[in-house]
Amino acid sequence: MRAFTIVGAVLLGATVGALAMRPAQGQVRTGERQLQGGARAAEAVETYRMTTDVRRGAQRAKRPQLQKDRRHLIHVPEFYGEVFEITAHGDDAVMWFKADDGVVRSAIVPGVADGLVRVQAVEATGFDVSFR
């Protein structure tokens, strides 16, 4: 399972705030705008230790400090492929994916703010496409 971790503050500040599930068509309602092209899965808490001493010429680094990041976990179908770009569209972030067969798809993450998002590819079944 491939996972893409996107830091909102660094990569366009993409966040999804207070998401409420909407099961139809892979969309999640956030106020008037919706997450499109994915589904809210949960809140992920990532913990790790990292040295935070950035003093110039420090003889000894500080002990690594425990860091904890809370992220909105968003699932996208695995067949979307790899993220190759993230662009801004108003207050939204658009994640662009390219599949192995060359198909390009987007997922729209509403509400750019200072939050964090984790996008994870998951297996999807029963895929069909029709053109109108």
pLDDT at residue 1, rounded to an integer: 43
Q: Is 120 exposed, middle or buried (0-12, 13-18, 19+ CB in 10 A)?
A: middle
Q: Which two tokens stand for residue 49?
A: 């230790």
CA distance 22 to 98: 26
123 and 78 Cβ atoms separated by less than 8 Å = yes
Q: What is the pLDDT of residues 96-113, one digit of tens each?
A: 999 999 999 999 888 656
pLDDT(14) > 50: no
pLDDT at residue 4, rounded to an integer: 47
* First-to-final CA distance of the chain: 32
Q: Is 81 exposed, middle or buried (0-12, 13-18, 19+ CB in 10 A)?
A: buried
User: What is the phi-psi region of residue 114: left when phi exceeds 0, alpha when psi lies from -120 to 50, beta otherwise?
Assistant: alpha
Q: Which two tokens stand for residue 32?
A: 């008037």
Q: How much is the pTM? A: 0.64
> Once rounded to an integer, what is the mean pLDDT over residues 72-94?
90
Q: Which two tokens stand for residue 11?
A: 């990569």
pLDDT at residue 91, rounded to an integer: 78
CA distance 62 to 52: 7
Q: What is the pLDDT of residues 21-77, one digit of tens each?
A: 333 344 444 445 678 888 888 889 999 998 877 777 766 667 888 999 998 888 999
* Most distant CA atoms of the chain, gap in Å: 66
